[in-house]
Structure formats: C-alpha cells, structure tokens
Amino acid sequence: MATSPFCTLGRRVDECARSDSGSTRAPSCRSPVPRRRSQCCRPGSGIAATRLGTLTTPPLDLFPLSARIEQGELTIGGVPATELAGEHGTPLVVYCEHTIREQARAYRTAAPEALVVYGTKAFPNVQIVRLLHEEGFGADVSTQGELELALRAGVPGDRLVVHGNNKSDNELQAAAGAGALVVLDAPDEVERAAAAGVRGVLVRVTAGIEADTHEAVRTGYHGSKFGLPPDDAVEVIAAGREAGLDVLGLHVHIGSQLVDTTASRMAVEWLAAFAADCRRRLDWTPSVVDLGGGLGVRHVDTDAAPTIEDFVIELRRRFQEAWAGHELPPPALILEPGRSIVGRAGVTIYRVGVVKRASEAVTYLSIDGGASDNPRPQLYGAQYTALLANRASEEAGCAYAVTGKHCEEEVLIRRVLLPSARRGDLLAVPATGAYTLAMGSNYNVVPLPAAVLVAAGVARVIRRRQAVEDLLAWDVE
Ligand code: LLP
C-alpha cells in the first residue's frame, strides 16, 4: 500500500489510478516490470475503453509466491500462463504448491504445539488435503462429503474435526466410525452423538462478538445459527458428560476473512472467562480449545491483512495470557485455517471474449467463466483485480468492467486497468484459491473449470474439468 503521497517514480499518488474502492493508489508505480507502450485504445481502434494513460498492473504480491513476469508473460510455478491455458483450457484455476506449503509451514512454525486442521470447505480437493497432511495438518470437515474426501486423502481420524450445525445421524455415525473429534452444535446432538458411538467432543459456543467482516461470514455473535449461547453450552457440557461422551473442550469461530486480530483477541479473552465459569459451575475445565479459522487474505492492492505469523503469534500469546490470568491449566490448541492456506495460492485464468462498450463510462471485457466459478462478488461484494497474463508487461491504460458469460448482470471486477484487451487474451485473477470453485455452480449449464497444481515447471490436474455431458447426465430423459 502506498504510505507516502508520492509513488517511487515521483508522481503524486493522486495523479495515478483510482482503485475499485475509490481510494487512490499507485500500485503499478512500484512494479519492477518493464513496460511496452500499449497499441490500444487509439481513436478508431474500435474499442472505446477509457484511455487513462497510467500504469496499474496489480502487484505480484497478490499472486502466489512463485508468480513471475517473464518475457511479458505471467508464469506460476515456472509454467507460463499461455502454456497452462493451451494445455488445460480455460477457465482454469491454477494452484501454486509452494505457496500452499509455505502457508502451512507458517502456521506450524507460529504454533508448533497446536494441531492445525485445514478448513476443507475453502477448496475441498483430495490432493490438496493430502499435501497438507504431509505438512502435518489434519482436516476440519463440515459434511459427510468433506469427511469422506478427507479420509480418502489419508487423514487419520485423530486429525479430523467434524462440524455442522445440523448433523444427520449418518454424519455422526461416519464421524464415530472414523474416530473423529465432533464439535457439538446443538443440545439434541448429545444423545444422538452418544448413540452413534462418538467418543471425543468439543462444545461450540458463541462468544457474542461481532467480527468486522461481511455479515454472511460472521458467526460469533449471539443469534448466530452456529454454536450455543453460553448457558446452553454449559448445559450441553454437563449433559454430554452424563451421556458418557468424552467432553474434551470448547470451540469458537467468530467469522471469516478477518483482517485484524481485534475480534479474535476478544474471543480468546471471552473464552478464558467462560472456561473459568465452567470450572465454577461444573467443576470441569477444557483440556482442548479450538479457536477456529478466519484469517483473511488480500484480494486487491488496497486490502490489508496480517501475516499468518503475526496473526497466530498474537492469538497464541493472548490465549496463554488469558488462560494464565484465570489460573486455568493450559489446554491443547487446535486451529482451523482455510482461506489463508489456499486463497493466495490460487489464480484463475480466463480467456477474453467479447470486449464491448456499454456506455461512455463502461467497457465490458467478457470472460469465459464468471459467477459459476466465482460467486463471491455477487454474494459478498468481494473485490478482485486482474492482469492480462499474456501481455503482462504492456502499459495498462484502459479501464474495463470484467463480466462473465452468464445470464445475469454479473460483474466479477467493477473496474480494472489493463492494456487494450483483445479476444483471445488471457485474464489472470489472483487470490481466487478459496471459496471460489468450492462454491461454484452449474448455472446456465456451464461446466466447472479444471484445477491444476503447479510446481517446478510442471502442472498436474488435481480436479478434472466438467463437461456438458456430465451435467446433462443428471437429467432423466
Ligand atoms: N472453522 C469453521 C468452524 C468454519 O466455519 C470456517 C469457515 C473455518 C474454520 C475456516 O475459515 P477461514 O480460515 O477459511 O476463514 N464462503 C465464505 C466463507 C465461509 C466461511 C465458512 N466457515 C466466503 O467466500 O468468504
């Protein structure tokens, strides 16, 4: 982020481009990438994108750690974008193995004693879950489907945490069969979990904290559908012990895409006070505490988010202090990161199709995917940025709204500056590794894209592309 009113080229920041959010930044002025002059946006070129005459390629720090611009082209894991698109088609979600491993290691280094379980929902994929298991992770699953996926990836039961606000008896039985830790989320789960043969449980409690994030991903407030209000949680702990369950501890998860530690610190302090209350009322203290996930990632240049290291070290310190403050025995710690593991690791590559002027103010650049592979802009107003992957060193002087191919006024990116785009160009959207494909749909009978994992110049398919025939096969003729 720009901290002085001048960019490194000496221009005033406010002479540079305005970002999507309307704030003024000069990201590209710091880009080390050399640029050629654009041949686009000339009068009479036929494409009336607004000519802005500025340099605004998004900084590579939104992209995976292995991303580079080489000979004018984006490469990830040593594989050029044109090669990825040529071999695997578009849209394509490209995951950088190095980034995923580094994010995982950052958690393990910052909290070496903790059990870290991957929030599988962020991108449920057998190979990613297996890779993370190699890095010492378990898995947090919230449905039978995610449980089966984690088991198929080889995660043992003692590294599985099973969630869900409405678990079926089948799901409880599957969790019991796997020997997983189950997070109780409702009073009626006590008897049903015991009957299903579940042993170890945590009790999820709502801390009454409103995290500063989108309301759809805020889960720690009183009234959330997740977890139990404190008094009910106390009753469930007591009932669980009576029913013969091994009530090991407490769980709290206050929300997702958190971009500072304030709410998490409050939750930790609240939880310690709640644990002390449990000791007083039940003569029971938690031997395990699961603090959930939640750390956010940057999607656009103007975003800020703490590093994994800063976030976890701060949380852990508060946790230890708060527990000691109530003279509680230190419990084992579980963390459940999802987005911060795979978010930055993923880049979606689309092929540019129609480029069309819609008004004086707006020129649409249409891509071959959109809402069906990334519904987050529509659901949460999420912002993204992009670069032209095959012309990444050219001057970015034209403003576009990026739209998809669905029957919907969908806007993936409200405003991005690019070189004058042509049919066939490749648009790369960074920070699309979490909750994108995972939340994809087949709206308009559009097949879901493939995903590849890249490392050391090699891309391997970790999720096959759907075909129209796959989708038609569901209809009974
Ligand atoms: N643990 C629990 C109990 C959760 O509910 C979640 C996410 C996580 C861990 C992982 O949280 P993360 O580290 O990824 O923030 N679809 C939304 C996000 C929903 C998050 C659901 N729960 C989005 O696209 O932003």
Ligand 1 centroid–CA 210 distance in Å is 15
Q: Give the per-residue pLDDT at 210.
A: 76
Q: Give the per-residue pLDDT at 54.
A: 44
Ligand 1 centroid–CA 215 distance in Å is 12
Atom of ligand 1 nearest to the CA of 256: 15
Query: For 286, how many CA atoms within 13 A lie in the half-sphere containing its CB?
Result: 30
- Which residues have CB under 6 Å of ligand 1? 119, 121-122, 140, 163, 217, 253, 256-257, 292-295, 336-340, 376, 380, 435, 439
Spatial separation of the C-alpha atoms in residues 263 and 47, rounded to whole Å:
47
Residue 407 annotated among the catalytic residues of the structure: yes
Q: Give the per-residue pLDDT at 19.
A: 34
Q: Where in the chain is the domain with CATH 2.40.37.10?
A: 31-95+344-472
For ligand 1, atom 9, the nearest C-alpha belongs to 293
The three-state DSSP-derived secondary structure of the chain is CCCCCECCCCCEHHHCCECCCCCECCHHHHCCCCCECCCCCCCCCCCCCEECCCCCCCCHHHCCCCCEEECCEEEECCEEHHHHHHHHCCCEEEEEHHHHHHHHHHHHHHCCCCEEEEEHHHCCCHHHHHHHHHCCCEEEECCHHHHHHHHHCCCCHHHEEECCCCCCHHHHHHHHHHCCEEEECCCCHHHHHHHHCCCEEEEEECCCCCCCCCHHHECCCCCCCCCECHHHHHHHHHHHHHCCCEEEEEECCCECCECCCHHHHHHHHHHHHHHHHHHHHHCCCCCEEECCCCECCCCCCCCCCCCHHHHHHHHHHHHHHHHHHCCCCCCEEEECCCHHHHCCCEEEEEEEEEEEECCCCCEEEEECCCCCCCCHHHHHCCCCCCEEHHHCCECCCEEEEEECCCCCCCCCEEEEEECCCCCCCEEEECCCCCCCHHHCCCHHHCCCCEEEEEECCEEEEEECCCCHHHHHCCCCC
Residue in 256, 258, 289, 311 to alter for ligand 1 test, most ligand atoms within 8 A of Cβ: 256
Ligand 1 centroid–CA 162 distance in Å is 14
Ligand 1 centroid–CA 373 distance in Å is 18
Ligand 1 centroid–CA 296 distance in Å is 10
248 dihedral zone (left: phi>0; alpha: psi -120 to 50; beta): alpha
pLDDT cut 70: percent of the chain above it? 87
pLDDT tens-digit series, residues 317-338: 999 999 999 999 999 999 999 9
Atom of ligand 1 nearest to the CA of 122: 14
Atom of ligand 1 nearest to the CA of 436: 24
223 dihedral zone (left: phi>0; alpha: psi -120 to 50; beta): left
Residue given tokens 């959109």 in the structure block: 370
Q: Tell which residue, 334, 130, 355, 140, has the closest CA to residue 251.
A: 334
Residue in 121, 254, 298 to alter for ligand 1 test, most ligand atoms within 8 A of Cβ: 121
pLDDT tens-digit series, residues 104-141: 999 999 999 999 999 999 999 999 999 999 999 999 99
Q: Give the per-residue pLDDT at 334.
A: 98
Ligand 1 centroid–CA 135 distance in Å is 21
Q: Give the per-residue pLDDT at 155.
A: 98
> pTM of the full predicted structure?
0.89
Could you tell me the two tokens for 344?
């930055």
Spatial separation of the C-alpha atoms in residues 304 and 377, rounded to whole Å:
18
Spatial separation of the C-alpha atoms in residues 89 and 448, rounded to whole Å:
12
Confirm if 52 and 417 have CB atoms less than 8 A apart: yes
Atom of ligand 1 nearest to the CA of 336: 9
Q: Where in the chain is the domain with CATH 3.20.20.10?
A: 111-342
pLDDT tens-digit series, residues 187-209: 999 999 999 999 999 999 998 88
For ligand 1, atom 19, the nearest C-alpha belongs to 217
pLDDT tens-digit series, residues 55-64: 446 679 999 9
Lowest pLDDT segment from 24-28, 71-75, 177-181: 24-28
pLDDT tens-digit series, residues 215-231: 777 776 788 899 999 99
Spatial separation of the C-alpha atoms in residues 112 and 90, rounded to whole Å:
39
Q: What average pLDDT score do residues 85-91 get?
A: 98
For ligand 1, atom 22, the nearest C-alpha belongs to 256
Atom of ligand 1 nearest to the CA of 434: 24
Atom of ligand 1 nearest to the CA of 439: 16
For ligand 1, atom 16, the nearest C-alpha belongs to 435
Q: What average pLDDT score do residues 301-306 get?
A: 94
Q: Give the per-residue pLDDT at 267.
A: 93
For ligand 1, atom 23, the nearest C-alpha belongs to 435
Residue in 264, 339, 439 to alter for ligand 1 test, most ligand atoms within 8 A of Cβ: 339
pLDDT tens-digit series, residues 376-390: 999 999 999 999 999
Atom of ligand 1 nearest to the CA of 294: 15
Spatial separation of the C-alpha atoms in residues 264 and 295, rounded to whole Å:
9
Beta bridge partners of 197: none
Tally Cβ neighbours within 10 Å of residue 78. Answer: 16
Is 3.30.70.260 the CATH number for 111-342? no
Q: Give the per-residue pLDDT at 57.
A: 61
Spatial separation of the C-alpha atoms in residues 381 and 403, rounded to whole Å:
14
For ligand 1, atom 24, the nearest C-alpha belongs to 435
Ligand 1 centroid–CA 37 distance in Å is 42
Confirm if 226 and 178 have CB atoms less than 8 A apart: no
Say which residues have a Cβ less than 8 Å from residue 15's Cβ, sequence separation at least 6: none
Determine the topology of domain 31-95+344-472 in CATH.
Lyase, Ornithine Decarboxylase; Chain A, domain 1 (2.40.37)
Residue 22 has pLDDT above 50, yes or no: no
Spatial separation of the C-alpha atoms in residues 313 and 307, rounded to whole Å:
10
Spatial separation of the C-alpha atoms in residues 285 and 275, rounded to whole Å:
6
- What does the CA dihedral 204, 205, 210, 212 come to, rounded to 10 degrees? -30
Q: Give the per-residue pLDDT at 217.
A: 76
Longest dimension (CA), the chain: 80
Q: Give the per-residue pLDDT at 14.
A: 32
7, 40, 398, 407: the catalytic one is 407
- The chain-wide mean pLDDT, for the chain, equals 89
Q: Give the per-residue pLDDT at 216.
A: 72
Ligand 1 centroid–CA 10 distance in Å is 41
For residue 414, CA distances in Å to 155, 214, 276, 334, 389 come to: 40, 18, 49, 38, 19
Beta bridge partners of 388: 427
